[in-house]
Amino acid sequence: MEYTYKRLDIRCYLQSLYDDGLNRSTKYTDDELFLIIQDIGIFRFKGYVKAFRNNISNYSIDFIIDIHNLDREISSKLFKMTSQIEIKLKSILIETVYNLTDNPFCYLLKSNYKNDFTMPFDSIQDWEMKPTNAEQKKKSEVYLHYRDYYLNTYSFISNKVKYTLDDKSIVKISNSSSLDINFPPFHYFIENITLGVLINIISQLTIDTNDILKIIGKQFGFYNSSVFLNYLLRLKEVRNRCAHNGRLFNRNYRGIKAIGIHQTFRKVIYEHKLIDVYLSFLYMINDNINIKNVNELMTKFEDEIIGQYDSSLKSFVMDFLRIKKTR
């Protein structure tokens, strides 16, 4: 079917909502509402409106805007959780790899990956040697960022010789054939990459036939590496939504197989909902979470993620979270 684009004007869209029964604002003028929704974006705002479609006349445009603002607060808190897990992932990965090898450039070797691995360009572009007035910069700054320090101090040409690396043994780097890359040691590299690249490398890296995904998974309480990978992919999905100001409220999320205490809650929690995401993050932060039932989980989410908001607003969101399954 061919997609037909229809331009949606903000003022016309608001009028259509009022015609459908949505109550007008008691806090904002029409011009202020126009600017608010322009900042949010019609496409994103429509996602919030969908939650009210069945009984839209019971609510006002103000309540929907408040839901959006609360969603931004939820996003901020969940982003913090994803960052905490990412830091934990990087720390465990670095320690695990250096327990298995003395080669700080092991991540560059083709033989250390399960498949025909290509290193993403954006993970190494910061390590490109560029002809700049580096000496001038060096003199003007008392403290150099670790990346600048490394680029000004070490040479990959020397490291290639010491660690017996050659062009045939090094993994392919996407879109970088003409670049002069001063590849850093593993710990420098890992601290600088995105969560998506981190998960990709963890899923593919092997050191002396040791599956890194399997080893790290066990340290997070997972004994099935494919299940652990799905938790990581959900982590990336939510992290990206938070980082790019995507809507979290009234959304479905990547499904995962529940393990441990998570299995108990699945009897009443739908796996594609936000409360299930929250529980999976708690498990990844600490697999010994002390939550006995769903009511305790909901209370913890309300206290730690929603925080201090209007009671009617909080009740609406919490009731939404309690819904096991929607279509």
Look at 58-62, 242-246, 250-254, 310-314 and tell me which has the smallest mean pLDDT.
Answer: 310-314
Element (H, E) at 213: helix 212-219
Q: What is the pLDDT of residue 327?
A: 41
- The alpha carbon of 190 is separated from its chain's Cα centroid by a whole number of angstroms, namely 16
Above 50 in pLDDT, residue 136?
no
Residue 53 DSSP symbol = G
Distance CA 180, CA 130 (A): 8
Specify the pTM: 0.87
Residue 109 DSSP symbol = B
Distance CA 198, CA 191 (A): 9
The owner of tokens 């979290």 is 248
pLDDT tens by residue, 156-197 = 888 888 887 787 888 888 875 556 788 889 999 999 899 999
Q: Show me where the domains of the chain are located.
A: 10-59, 66-103+193-199+210-327, 105-184
pLDDT tens by residue, 70-114 = 999 999 999 999 999 999 999 999 999 999 999 999 999 999 999
Q: Which token pair is 227?
A: 């299940």
Q: What is the pLDDT of residue 177?
A: 57
Please state, rounded to an integer, the average pLDDT across all residues of the chain: 86
pLDDT tens by residue, 227-252 = 999 999 999 999 999 999 899 988 88
* Proportion of the chain above pLDDT 90, given as a percent: 52
Average pLDDT of the residues in 292-315: 85
Residue 173 DSSP symbol = E
Distance CA 220, CA 223 (A): 9
For the chain, strand residue ranges (E) read 118-119, 172-173, 206-207, 210-211
Above 80 in pLDDT, residue 272?
yes
The owner of tokens 């420098």 is 188
Q: What is the pLDDT of residue 128?
A: 75
- The alpha carbon of 271 is separated from its chain's Cα centroid by a whole number of angstroms, namely 18
Distance CA 86, CA 238 (A): 12
